[in-house]
Amino acid sequence: MNQAKQLAENLAFDAYMRYHRNRLTLPCPDVDQLRTYDVVDRGESYVILYKNGMDAGKSCIYATINKETCKVCSNYL
């Protein structure tokens, strides 16, 4: 597995775990229980997508990772 894909998968897993740990601290922890973070190959980069249960399942970009430089671009990190 190349370094960029491994980085993307690690970031997706960390985001998933962070989201669900925080969700469990809410007064109503059953909000958006099914949220997942998926790594998608988009040519020159890997994109980490999540489906926002609050927005009718619309896929949202969590981060992008450039395959050559492994540079991570995200508003959430």
Q: What residue spans define the domains of the chain?
A: 3-70
Q: How far is CA 61 from CA 23, 29, 73, in A?
A: 19, 23, 10
Tens of pLDDT, residues 5-35: 999 999 999 999 998 898 888 888 677 777 8
Has residue 76 got a pLDDT over 70? no
Task: Give the mean pLDDT of the chain.
Answer: 88
pTM: 0.83
pLDDT of 27 reads: 86
Tokens of 26: 């809410």
